[in-house]
Chain A
């Protein structure tokens, strides 16, 4: 049987030195979750340029008229800042997915005794996948 754990207010950041793996996993999962839902709204807003584009709306892009969807996306992808933010988004998504898998397994009764090790594995794997993806995400930005 697991122990009840009164965290107090998570906002009491002075307690961070006392946090164990499970607490960091909880904090990172909440943080990445907030980023992902925020991104979903932004993503749909940007992709919505397909609506006027499908009706024939165009914009000037690199000296010629381009449909407003293609022009918006390719313009954004031309910004180094956007490429760097995309790498950040990948890191956030990969961590949320790996840690989420860990949570699903624990819910199914698998790996509770190794929950700290699986958190560290999630972190390391997130780092490895993110670093390995950098060349693909940055390609053509310079």
Chain B
């Protein structure tokens, strides 16, 4: 019986989130590359310029949301790829919680970095 192949459980909540974050990341990753390689150049980066951007609530919020969605999309993608290769049982549980822990560390460190640039959470 022919059936539609997908590495995801089609129609599930995680399946939808993977696609919603994909659509968001398409736009924001293109913006990120364009701003930091074409408008500004990577070899002209300074702490002051990065801070000036991050002190704006709109930019700070966008970058934190970018970090959260990229972490989810990437880590969930890795998890799905491993399940697709046949990961099951205890190994699957161990991998799942290892990836969750890695995500928490990445988000914590990323937000600490954003706050260092912004001098704390930007209020204006």
Contact = CB atoms under 8 A, between A and B. Distances in A.
A51 B74 contact: no
B4 interface: yes
A139 B110 CA distance: 28
A114 interface: no
Contacts of A9: 85
Most buried by B among A41, A50, A103, A133: A50
A105 to B, nearest CB: 11
Interface in A3-31: 3-5, 9-10, 30
Contacts of A60: none
Interface residues on B, range: 35 or more
A70 B81 contact: no
Contacts of A47: 110, 113
Contacts of A50: 47, 50, 113, 116-117
A140 B41 contact: yes
B87 interface: no
Contacts of A34: 78, 81
Interface of B: 1-5, 19, 22-23, 25-26, 29-30, 33, 37-38, 41-43, 45-47, 50-51, 67, 70-71, 74-75, 77-78, 81, 85, 102, 106, 109-110, 112-113, 116-117, 119
